[in-house]
Structure 1
Amino acid sequence: MTLRYDKLTELLILRFRYKLDVVSAGKNFMKIKKAITAGFFFHAARKDPQEGYRTLVENQPVYIHPSSALFQRQPDWVIYHELVMTTEEYMREVTVIDPKWLVELAPRYFKVADPTKMSKRKRQECIEPLYDRYHEPNSWRLSKRRA
């Protein structure tokens, strides 16, 4: 609850500093989810058929934190804010996304894969990450963020 209050306060300060108008999304939460996806696309994870989730960037096994409202739902695709290591690596602040948004909002990193050139297992995944031009094609990583 305190984190949410701090973020709200931070947003209000930015709004007044830059004299921005308040534009409400109303009850259209898709706009908010798309905005989160656009900013955190590198924190996308997909449901693993065996157990938990796999991050798209590192293919690392992760799980939804038990305190999350999505813990019982286990959606197919999610965006998370941070990973917390306890007995397992848990995703915190998780929201459900549509995988098509990744292609739409981050076309430099994701593209729709050609189903004729994929194995049966890969055909079910729908999107394919692109490699980073600064690394070898078979070991892609996102570029380092500049401070």
Structure 2
Amino acid sequence: MADMVYAVVPVASAVLTGLFAGLFFGFSIAVMPGLGRVGDRAMIESMQGINVAILNPLFAAVFIGAPVGALASVVLYAGVAEAAPAAWFGAALACLVAALGITFGVNVPRNNVLEKAGPAERIADAAAVREAFEPVWVRWNHLRSLASVVALVCSVVALTVR
């Protein structure tokens, strides 16, 4: 049974971290550039819709599961004195925590401001609302994407070192 835990938990952690990184990376390379090509109201309405749709159980499982899996992997490896994988999963955890900090410190507050602006069709100055939201949100999303991808690399390295 213990062997199965040591096989499943670290691999699940790496997979969840990959999904975590892929989500933010997808926003950086496709979603936001795509929304950058549409009008102000369409962009606002789309982001408001995304912000509602993303709050679902699968997203929560990945968003919470990745750092929890990394922490569990650190504990597992540290518990059997395997310093290298524990350190790499620790680095992954640090990067995931940084991405969470960015999310809750910058991106979610920007999403909340966008939501408080009201329905896109009723916003008097949609261009101003967009300008207050988009550049900051995108810049910080790129940073959390980078942190997440580094976390993924660290997780994969942790699976290969002994």
Whose strand proportion is higher, 1 or 2? 1
Q: Which has the higher contact order (CA 8 A, sep 6+)?
A: 2
Whose helix proportion is higher, 1 or 2? 2
Q: Flag the structure with larger Rg.
A: 2
TM over 0.5: no
